[in-house]
């Protein structure tokens, strides 16, 4: 019975081994397939993660490229605008330079002005003198000179400063030198202008005596509004010397004094100017019995050079 029992156990053991082998053989592909699927799933997830990272990197690069393109375009636009601004600034500079040069040429020509004057003259007192009305020789016809007359003259303005030495902009100070002739009519001559003289008992036969006056003056002239066609001006004070004719009863002919004036001029064409002025001469009383204090008022023509 033991051998049979041993045989039966052997057979059973063999059958169990074969069955286990068969079971293992049949289960192995399923386990391998599961592991392989799991590995592939992990690889797929890894690839997806890498693809996602690559996509994000691509978007970042794309955004950076777009931003750089915008920056480049903005830089190009800025450079273009700067070029336009520089071009406009160059054009403006050329225009300003041209205007400045023209202004400088105009002002330079107006720094020197030759002018010719004429108008009304008035003495505060009627003139007396050696050959007209005379208190020294009250003989024959006695006739004082007229108070009213006319004048002609000429002068030169020369610029000293264009801004009152830095104190007042666009305000010129000129040095004016002027010559002026005034005539106050013709009076009947006194004893010395009688033909023959009444000093020797001759009858009255007076000759005409021209009553005139020649003035030389030098003064500072302050002109305002440099660069404008219209320019007012003043003379705060100047020095003048008057030459009288006929002479005083003391046979002198020079009378010094001061001059004050104001006026304006207007540029009518190129460097030609029309103006008007009024001047007052003060000799501070009589010089050897003659007072030539008075005023003038009239117009003038100026030429800049």
Q: Count up the domains in the chain and report the number.
A: 2
Whether 50 and 120 share a structural domain: no
- SS3 of 227, please? coil
Does 98 share its domain with 115? no
Question: Exposure of 143 by Cβ count < 10 A (0-12 exposed, 13-18 middle, 19+ buried)?
Answer: middle
What per-residue confidence (pLDDT) applies to 141? 78
Q: Which residues contact 171 (CB under 8 A, 6 or more apart)?
A: 162, 163, 164, 222, 223, 224, 226
Residues 97 and 224 in one domain: no
If asked whether residues 117 and 221 sit together in one domain, one would say yes
Give the bridge partners for 257, in sequence order: 240
Q: Round to whole Å and give the CA distance between 194 and 192.
A: 6
Residue 112: how many CB atoms within 10 A of its CB? 15
Same domain, 134 and 279: yes
**What pLDDT does residue 109 have?**
54
Give pLDDT, residue 219.
Answer: 98
pLDDT at 9: 57
Same domain? For 183 and 268 the reply is: yes
Tokens at 115, concatenated: 């002018």
Same domain for 289 and 160: yes
Q: Do residues 267 and 119 share a domain? A: yes
Residues 256 and 252: their CA atoms lie apart, in Å, by 12
List Cβ neighbours of 226 (8 Å cut-off, separation of 6 or more).
107, 162, 170, 171, 172
pTM of the model: 0.65
Looking at residue 106, its pLDDT comes to: 54
Last residue of a domain, one of 110, 128, 160: 110
Of 56, 83, 110, the position where a domain reaches its end is: 110
CA–CA dist 152, 182 (Å, integer): 7
Average pLDDT of adjacent 10-residue blocks, the chain of 305 residues: 51 56 56 71 84 83 82 86 87 77 57 96 91 79 89 97 94 97 91 77 83 97 95 98 93 95 96 97 91 97 95
Q: Which residue range(s) make up the domain with 120?
A: 111-304
What's the pLDDT score for residue 297?
Answer: 98
Torsion 35-40-46-49 (CA) sign? negative
State whether 189 and 76 are in the same domain: no
Q: Which region, left, alpha or beta, applies to residue 89 given φ > 0 means left and ψ of -120 to 50 means alpha?
A: alpha
What is the largest distance, in Å, between two alpha-carbon atoms of the chain? 218
Beta pairing, strands 148-161 & 172-188: antiparallel
Q: Do 90 and 120 belong to one domain?
A: no
d(CA 265, CA 274): 5
Same domain? 85 vs 145: no
- From 110, 142, 171, the end of a domain falls on 110
Q: Domain of 298: which CATH number? A: 2.40.160.20
The answer on 267 and 131 residing in a single domain is yes
State the Cα–Cα distance between residues 146 and 125, nearest whole angstrom.
9
């Amino acid at each position: 019975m033991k051998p049979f029992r041993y045989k039966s156990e052997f057979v059973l053991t063999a059958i169990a081994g074969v069955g286990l082998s068969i079971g293992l053989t049949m289960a192995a592909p399923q386990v391998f397939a599961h592991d392989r699927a799991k590995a592939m799933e992990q690889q797929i997830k890894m690839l997806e993660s890498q693809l996602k990272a690559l996509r994000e990197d691509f978007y970042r690069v794309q955004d950076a490229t777009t931003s750089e393109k915008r920056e480049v375009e903005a830089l190009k636009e800025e450079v273009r605008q700067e070029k336009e601004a520089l071009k406009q600034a160059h054009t403006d500079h050329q225009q300003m330079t041209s205007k400045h040069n023209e202004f400088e040429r105009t002002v330079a020509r107006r720094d020197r002005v030759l002018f010719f004057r004429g108008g009304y003259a008035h003495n505060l007192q009627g003139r007396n003198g050696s050959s007209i009305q005379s208190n020294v020789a009250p003989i024959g016809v006695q006739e004082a000179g007229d108070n009213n007359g006319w004048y002609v003259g000429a002068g030169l303005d020369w610029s000293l400063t264009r801004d009152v030495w830095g104190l007042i902009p666009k305000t010129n100070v000129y040095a004016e030198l002027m010559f002026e002739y005034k005539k106050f009519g013709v009076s009947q001559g006194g004893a010395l202008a009688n033909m023959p003289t009444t000093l020797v008992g001759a009858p009255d036969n007076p000759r005409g005596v021209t009553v005139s006056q020649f003035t030389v003056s030098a003064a500072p002239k302050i002109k305002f509004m440099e660069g404008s066609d219209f320019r007012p001006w003043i003379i705060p004070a100047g020095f003048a010397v008057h030459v009288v004719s006929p002479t005083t009863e003391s046979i002198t002919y020079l009378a010094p004094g001061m001059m004050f004036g104001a006026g304006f001029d207007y540029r009518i064409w190129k460097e030609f100017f029309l103006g008007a002025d009024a001047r007052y001469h003060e000799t501070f009383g009589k010089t050897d019995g003659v007072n030539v204090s008075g005023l003038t008022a009239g117009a003038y023509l100026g030429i800049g050079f």
